[in-house]
Amino acid sequence: MQLLDIRNLSLELATPEGLICAVDRVNLLIREGEVRGLVGESGSGKSLIAKAIMGVLNNRWHVKADRFSWNGQDLLRLPYEEQRRIISRDVAMIYQEPSRSMDPTAPVGEQIMESIPDHVIQGVSWWQRGYFRKARAKALLHKVGIKDHLTVWNSYPYQLSEGICQKISIAMAIAKDPKLLIADEPTTALESTTQAQLFRLLASLNQLKGMSILLISHELETVARITDTISVLYCGQLVEAGETATLLKRPRHPYTDALIKSVPEFQPDLAFKQQLYALPGSIPTLQHLPIGCRLGPRCPNARRECVRTPQLEKQQNHYFSCHFPLNRSDDE
């Protein structure tokens, strides 16, 4: 069953120089119980897509999509309040830099209690509600792996380490039992041991509760650890999407190929201190996007055809948009 089905999502920013197309016709499909990774470098629009799903982009952004359906309902056709109601009921997001996205003026316990929605405590008599909320918030803290809830309860976010703040923001996100959890760069600020804990936590949420997870990161190697499927973005264009194992083994787009080759984790027979594979040049800014395939100027096998935007091709659940895909099989 498809939970989220987005076709040709375009996000355009109104600037004095005209519209800038920051996200260009991106497809995203999340099934129930699936862990999907969204990989891309800074400025590739991955956080924008997450914000568009949550409906928290401001008015300067124009959201257009051929289809934007959540659980079979087309969200863009609904009035804004209705969209927000559905999304806030079913989708939760963990924002970047947890310690900054929490309220600095309130103790953590209060914030968690506040994040528990009313429908969870419906049916509880009113004099017991405060107690019930508190018990529930404590249970949430235990669930995300904070054993010592008493010290955390009365602390302010600045007093806690980034790893604990991250866990607390997960606790707040899962307070309403969302169907989809969007985790935006959850591990950038964390150390490797805490990262491993966090991934175990996300994996167990996915397996025990069947929660779908959209994991956003710029590092392919961290995403590949727990995801079933991966979508790779470059400069707002979807370059490749498919099952994690296939995508890593047989990338079809030069950008995915470069990403995999540039990470020493995926190169077991890389000699010590050997040069890594790197694409020349740097990511273009939004004001100077190349036409056609946006990887064009940096692509090692770019040809004249690349000034036209390539169509998304599909081969056995593996999508890629390139005129000259790599790793051709014999029958192509």
Q: Among 42, 59, 316, 329, which residue interacts with other proteins (rule: CB under 8 A)?
A: 42
Stretch 302-331 residues interacting with other proteins (CB under 8 A): none
Cα 142 from Cα 63, distance rounded (Å): 39
Stretch 22-41 residues interacting with other proteins (CB under 8 A): 41
Size of the site for other proteins (CB under 8 A): 33
Q: Letter for the amino acid at 212? A: S
Residue 262 in contact with other proteins, rule: CB under 8 A: yes
66: left (phi over 0), alpha (psi -120 to 50) or beta: alpha
Q: Among 196, 245, 291, 307, which residue interacts with other proteins (rule: CB under 8 A)?
A: 196
3-state secondary structure of 6: strand
Place of tokens 């017991």: 128
238: left (phi over 0), alpha (psi -120 to 50) or beta: beta
Residue 195 in contact with other proteins, rule: CB under 8 A: yes
**Three-state secondary structure along 282-301?**
CCCCHHHCCCCCCCHHHCCC
Residue 285 in contact with other proteins, rule: CB under 8 A: yes
Under 8 Å between Cβ of 253 and 322: yes
Residue 283 in contact with other proteins, rule: CB under 8 A: yes
Q: Among positive and negative, which fits the CA dihedral 140, 146, 149, 151?
A: negative
Under 8 Å between Cβ of 210 and 178: no
Closer by beta carbon to other proteins, 174 or else 189: 189
Pick the piece of the chain touching other proteins (CB under 8 A) from 83-91, 151-159, 219-227, 242-250: 219-227
Q: Among 58, 59, 105, 192, which residue interacts with other proteins (rule: CB under 8 A)?
A: 192
Residue 135 in contact with other proteins, rule: CB under 8 A: no
Residue 297 in contact with other proteins, rule: CB under 8 A: no
3-state secondary structure of 120: helix
Closer by beta carbon to other proteins, 103 or else 265: 265
Q: Among 272, 304, 311, 330, which residue interacts with other proteins (rule: CB under 8 A)?
A: 272
Closer by beta carbon to other proteins, 121 or else 263: 263
Closer by beta carbon to other proteins, 31 or else 261: 261
Residue 56 phi/psi, 5-degree rounding, is -110, 15
Residue 239 phi/psi, 5-degree rounding, is -95, -35
Cα 116 from Cα 295, distance rounded (Å): 44
Stretch 151-170 residues interacting with other proteins (CB under 8 A): 161
Residues in the chain: 332
Residue 193 in contact with other proteins, rule: CB under 8 A: yes
CA 329 to chain centre: 31
Closer by beta carbon to other proteins, 195 or else 229: 195
Site of interaction with other proteins (CB under 8 A): 41-42, 161, 188, 191-193, 195-196, 218-221, 225, 258-259, 262-265, 268, 270, 272-279, 282-283, 285
